Amino acid sequence: MNIGDAAEASGVPAKTIRYYEDIGLIRPARDTNGYRAFRQSDVHKLAFLGRARALGFSIEECRALLGLYEDESRASEDVKKLAQAHLARIDAKIRELQSMRATLGTLVAGCAGDHRPDCPILADLARDAAQS
């Protein structure tokens, strides 16, 4: 199948498929005319990569996951360690975002939002910039 068909079947945009090929994540066969010829196994890998990317795994983590997926002698422990490390990064990002939200929520609540020029949001931003 061609790249458009592979994109539709896998849910991964053609531009992304070309990128994945450029960085060696996938290696579709080539027809005699030089066009990509995607097999069902390529579409399956693309869908796998699309799902992994949707879960926030980096390209290198996807490369490792794909390698583990294709290795029938893999240890599930290796997969779990990779996923646990990613989950820890997500949890850290959530904590960071919650802290940002709490700070911004306090600033927004403290701002009158009226015609007066004084604004605690701008004052806080200016204070943080001066301390940096």
pLDDT in tens, 30-81: 998 989 999 999 999 999 999 999 999 999 999 999 999 999 999 999 999 9
Residue 9: inside a domain, yes or no? yes
Full residue range of the structural domain in which residue 12 is found? 1-57
Q: What is the mean pLDDT of the chain?
A: 94
Residue 70 in domain? no
CA-closest candidate to residue 52, choices 18, 85, 86: 86
Task: Say yes or no: 81 and 128 in one domain.
Answer: yes
Q: CB neighbours of 1 closer than 8 A, spacing ≥ 6?
A: 9, 37, 38, 39, 43
- 49 in the same domain as 5: yes
Question: Is residue 51 domain-shared with residue 23, that is, in the same domain?
Answer: yes
pLDDT of residue 6 exceeding 60, the answer is yes
Q: What does the pLDDT read at residue 127?
A: 85
Q: Looking at the structure, do residues 104 and 132 belong to the same domain, yes or no?
A: yes
Give the separation between CA 74 and CA 48, rounded to whole angstroms: 17
Which contacts (CB < 8 Å, 24+ apart) does range 22-31 have?
23/59, 25/49, 25/59, 25/62, 25/63, 25/66
Looking at the fold, whether 53 and 21 belong to one and the same domain comes out as yes
- CA separation, residue 61 to residues 41, 51, 79, 84 (Å): 20, 12, 10, 12
Asked, for residue 117, whether it belongs to a domain, the answer is: yes
- pTM for this model (two decimals): 0.81
Query: Considering its fold, how many domains does the chain have in total?
Result: 2
